[in-house]
Structure 1
């Protein structure tokens, strides 16, 4: 234990060093950022399960970013092959891949604080270098070369410093620092992107610091003040003059920076028309740009014009994505920005404002520069978005993973839905104040109606069209903190991903989509399968194991509360009645109807009232029909198709005994506490036996025993050597026969009936 604590302390210290280096060097040093990120990446994967456990790809912004990166990789390799230029083009978008890693590392509040403080320190150091640059020619050349990235970083940092100090007891020192950074952008740097962002963010700052009554007036006044201040700046004035009197280009030999931008835009527009659908490939931009420039200008132009004739990017990230990746690349890039802005809208206000401003600043900057392509700007944005998203998540959910809403996904048959109630009860005990909803197929949630542990229900068709699926997705989208997926199917896991950022789910032991499900889940439970030894109630309940302190929880199946019976049925029901449920949904689980006839005759001969249950479906009616002629009412009382599950519970609670096959009503009967005789065929009872009411969780049915009794449940099986095979009958399909069920004669069941009734 001491060694583990020591290792954790060393790991944390190394991460802090990496984050401090990343924050400090991000505004101005590519080499410093590279070394710091290398350290962070190594630590994030040490041990390997650490990053897997954090699952940062569950955050939508990170997921879309990874999708964009995957598309860039595929598009680049397809269009350019595995060449050096292709690999270099892919490497230029590495921040999309690094962002989820940094997001997972920044889940700790202390690390986020280290990154932000180091970032602000780096911004101040950069501003000081700007003012010291005239004293050192090499430093002056470096600052001029990086004036765009420096202006972008200083403008954004100035805004963040002010906003993070807004509610502190002493905000003025931070405001002085922010003013110094903004002043540096306006008066010390020759970069229009940073100057524009200072004006926009300054107005936003005034808006956010003003009361509602004077907000518009104060913002307008703030805009005028900033514009007046900028007008006194020599750098802003020269840039403005250049913009208003730019040279036209063409064959001119002297072209201003603005003129070059216009010519680059002209070439980019032509390229977008040609390659905007499929894309030219991210590694091919230099080549296609040169070709298009030659076509536009007819002959190569020498001198200053070479800046737009031979360019590696269009100095506009939107055009870069459209030309390099086509409409798909541009759509993914815009979706990536939109996902971050949507996260800002959903974040707590103090964090949402900062994140939203960072996204807007980046989106504006991308109009004039290829910011995602550029190393410093791209990594600066990546670090801020990862940090602010991690802070938003911690603020919204709490650093202890507080859960305020839970969705249980139980998209299976009626019996499976009932067997989720131990999980639902455990979730309610763990989060007593949380909202707990359940989603299931239409017609299957009756077993859960009026369950005190459940707040709401979603019903969805078992087979739904595109319109229904889209409507359901919009209703569920990130509405919950946690989704518990009890169905191993792909559709259930997709619903879980839509509904919540955190998910625990059951996956099959084997499946082609398992790797995707495991990646998307915070906690994975592998289904034991039909031949497994873990009962499904315990398996489902283990979904919340990461959130529980105790090692085991009592797994009670919760029957729905009883409801008043129809008057005629209530009057006809006699004390000591035996409830017989003859139908099974599938023929391979069906105990022969002829055996049920013999059983019902014997029960009637014993003087017992027999109550026949079932649904109003055609199959149930077909199974029950031969039994209806055995005696008149009320000695033989048919209630099939007349009761809901709550009323059926009322019948079972007044009965002396229940007899039925492997079906959902048998599980319901066991949960009510009535003595149950369950007739099992090929199904493995260790997995699917009716769970006894108020049973000890350590008790479990065995695989193959002629008669087993635990609590109020007596389970009968055949003595055939293949029992239980775990298959769908002898022919392994739902319409199959099951010889093991035929082999269980009525006399064996009657023997247990007499023993149970005698007790």
Structure 2
């Protein structure tokens, strides 16, 4: 293995005013993802241009040998190859790449995350934005008795300025309270354990975000994901738990869990279990008449499974997938939603680019895991993030939805790349 010369490190990660400008731009982008799709796209374009300049000016070729970048490029390369083999036009291939652009952002933006500072400002902007959202959600619940969620009742008589703000919270609430909130909660707790200097602030944030997640959110997958992340958190920190602390943690959990389940979380999980069982035991005709979240997902998955059966080896190709999904759905009764998104990232990738494509897709988190082998603190954060993100991909779209997708790219970049320029790399 060879190490990167110091001069290359300094060029790839400048520490002058330009570096501070990059940090500010990344922080603005992180905040924008919460509130504005248009601003998110504008800032993503600006960051991409800046990253291209950094690639051309400083030529950090060692990043192309980084395991995470190799995995991302391998997956995108297979997507292109499969589209070409399917006879897709150049415009269709470009559309497929644009559809998965957040994976490309990991490679393109990696020179901007070699400094710990840039990762730190992204994490700080994320925590501040989530704290602001949690305060707003809990305040809306306490004052108006409403949840900022698309399926919750919405009082149109709210004051004009508040009406628009609540509408913005409602439309983005499912994404905001998804895996990124889980990862932020447990990442903050983990950082508080490893870095006691900001322990009080981080624990306060985690408590605030947890309250908003369970009391002011209907995101059932996150309520279940919280339990999994808590188990991973305890596993990571098992060496720090004495018998007395373990008993205290169990008592606290026994008291807190019924309280949290008393609110929307408990009701939502009961409805999810009941709706899923009802759907599984219903006749096909009755199934198509149901419009619950559970029944819709089961319907989506049945169609996606059909595409996998029709294209078991190489998939339908990314360029053809959505047309095939909708065409297959049309064979079902009219009540079936005409939707090309299967709400299961693994079924989607398997149906679009086959088993090899799915393996290449799964190689991305595995490569991130390998890249953090020498950084125990960052590996803990990555473990918590993957515990929140990977199970969620079973029931939701992720990289193909832009809000969670952008956060997915930011999480991988901020956890994996800081300090990568000073490590030894294996020649390609």
Q: Aligning the two structures, in what range does the TM-score lie when normalised by the shorter sequence?
A: 0.7 to 0.9
Query: Is it true that 1:338 corresponds to 2:366 in the alignment?
Result: yes
Q: Which residue number in structure 1 is paired with residue 98 of structure 2? A: 91
Q: Could you tell me how far 1:42 is from its partner in structure 2?
A: 1.7
Residues 640-665 of structure 1, C-alpha deviations (whole Å, 9 max, x = no match): xxxxxxxxxxxxxxxxxxxxxxxxxx
- 2-side partners of 1:43 and 1:205: how far apart? 36
Q: Which residue number in structure 2 is paired with residue 582 of structure 1? A: none
Structure 2 runs not aligned, ≥5 long: 1-10, 141-147, 149-153
- Residues 222 and 26 of structure 1, relative CA distance in 2, 3 Å threshold: farther
- 2-side partners of 1:80 and 1:196: how far apart? 42
Contact 1:206 1:218 (8 Å CA) reproduced: no
Query: Is it true that 1:154 corresponds to 2:181 in the alignment?
Result: yes
- 2-side partners of 1:181 and 1:270: how far apart? 39
- 2-side partners of 1:287 and 1:69: how far apart? 20
Q: Could you tell me how far 1:216 is from its partner in structure 2?
A: 6.6
Higher RCO, Cα 8 Å, sep 6+: 2
Query: Is it true that 1:68 corresponds to 2:71 in the alignment?
Result: no
- 1-side partners of 2:169 and 2:225: how far apart? 18
Query: Is it true that 1:365 corresponds to 2:392 in the alignment?
Result: yes
Contact 1:190 1:239 (8 Å CA) reproduced: no
- Residues 233 and 15 of structure 1, relative CA distance in 2, 3 Å threshold: same
- 2-side partners of 1:236 and 1:86: how far apart? 44
Residues 290-325 of structure 1, C-alpha deviations (whole Å, 9 max, x = no match): 332344x3xx313xx32xxx2122101100110010
Residues 419-461 of structure 1, C-alpha deviations (whole Å, 9 max, x = no match): xxxxxxxxxxxxxxxxxxxxxxxxxxxxxxxxxxxxxxxxxxx
Counterpart selection for 1:352 from 373, 376, 379: 379
Q: Which residue number in structure 2 is paired with residue 291 of structure 1? A: 327
Greater Cα shift, 196-205 or 88-97: 196-205
Counterpart selection for 2:305 from 238, 261, 269: 269
Query: Is it true that 1:41 corresponds to 2:65 in the alignment?
Result: no
Counterpart selection for 2:334 from 285, 301, 305: 301
Greater Cα shift, 359-368 or 13-22: 13-22
- Residues 103 and 226 of structure 1, relative CA distance in 2, 3 Å threshold: farther
- Residues 27 and 193 of structure 1, relative CA distance in 2, 3 Å threshold: farther
TM-score (norm 1): 0.47
Q: Could you tell me how far 1:105 is from its partner in structure 2?
A: 0.9
- 2-side partners of 1:203 and 1:21: how far apart? 33
Q: Could you tell me how far 1:280 is from its partner in structure 2?
A: 0.7
Q: Which residue number in structure 2 is paired with residue 244 of structure 1? A: 274
SS at the partner of 1:18?
helix
Residues 650-690 of structure 1, C-alpha deviations (whole Å, 9 max, x = no match): xxxxxxxxxxxxxxxxxxxxxxxxxxxxxxxxxxxxxxxxx
- 1-side partners of 2:268 and 2:386: how far apart? 28
Structure 1 runs of 4+ aligned residues shifted over 6 Å read none
- 1-side partners of 2:252 and 2:370: how far apart? 27
Contact 2:301 2:342 (8 Å CA) reproduced: yes
Counterpart selection for 1:20 from 15, 18, 27: 27
Query: Is it true that 1:53 corresponds to 2:60 in the alignment?
Result: yes
- Residues 311 and 16 of structure 1, relative CA distance in 2, 3 Å threshold: same
- Residues 183 and 91 of structure 1, relative CA distance in 2, 3 Å threshold: same
Query: Is it true that 1:260 corresponds to 2:296 in the alignment?
Result: yes
SS at the partner of 1:312?
coil
Query: Is it true that 1:312 corresponds to 2:340 in the alignment?
Result: yes
1:438-457 correspondence runs (5 A): none
Contact 2:119 2:414 (8 Å CA) reproduced: yes
SS at the partner of 2:346?
helix
Q: Could you tell me how far 1:39 is from its partner in structure 2?
A: 2.0
SS at the partner of 1:251?
helix
Q: CA RMSD in A?
A: 2.8
- 2-side partners of 1:124 and 1:190: how far apart? 18
Tell me which structure has the larger Cα radius of gyration: 1
Residues 561-580 of structure 1, C-alpha deviations (whole Å, 9 max, x = no match): xxxxxxxxxxxxxxxxxxxx
1:112-131 correspondence runs (5 A): 112-131=119-138
Greater Cα shift, 145-154 or 330-339: 145-154
TM-score (norm 2): 0.81
- 1-side partners of 2:371 and 2:250: how far apart? 28
Say which structure is richer in strand.
1
- Residues 315 and 178 of structure 1, relative CA distance in 2, 3 Å threshold: same
Q: Which residue number in structure 2 is paired with residue 188 of structure 1? A: 216
Contact 1:61 1:336 (8 Å CA) reproduced: yes
Residues 188-233 of structure 1, C-alpha deviations (whole Å, 9 max, x = no match): 1211222222222234334545535438756655654553233111
- Residues 9 and 325 of structure 1, relative CA distance in 2, 3 Å threshold: same
Contact 1:86 1:283 (8 Å CA) reproduced: yes
What is the aligned length?
387
1:431-510 correspondence runs (5 A): 481=424, 501=425, 503=427
Contact 1:206 1:222 (8 Å CA) reproduced: no
- 1-side partners of 2:81 and 2:256: how far apart? 46
Q: Which residue number in structure 2 is paired with residue 175 of structure 1? A: 203
- Residues 55 and 36 of structure 1, relative CA distance in 2, 3 Å threshold: farther
- 2-side partners of 1:48 and 1:23: how far apart? 22
- Residues 65 and 225 of structure 1, relative CA distance in 2, 3 Å threshold: farther
Structure 1 runs not aligned, ≥5 long: 403-480, 482-500, 504-519, 521-759
SS at the partner of 2:218?
coil
SS at the partner of 1:276?
coil
SS at the partner of 1:327?
helix
Contact 2:102 2:406 (8 Å CA) reproduced: yes
Q: Could you tell me how far 1:110 is from its partner in structure 2?
A: 2.0
Q: Which residue number in structure 1 is paired with residue 232 of structure 2? A: 204
Q: Which residue number in structure 1 is paired with residue 408 of structure 2? A: 381
Residues 2-36 of structure 1, C-alpha deviations (whole Å, 9 max, x = no match): xx9xx984422331221111222344543333222
Q: Which residue number in structure 2 is paired with residue 232 of structure 1? A: 262
- Residues 176 and 51 of structure 1, relative CA distance in 2, 3 Å threshold: same
- 2-side partners of 1:234 and 1:116: how far apart? 28
Contact 1:26 1:122 (8 Å CA) reproduced: no
- 2-side partners of 1:51 and 1:375: how far apart? 29
Contact 1:280 1:323 (8 Å CA) reproduced: yes
Residues 87-131 of structure 1, C-alpha deviations (whole Å, 9 max, x = no match): 333212111111123221111122222221112122223323434
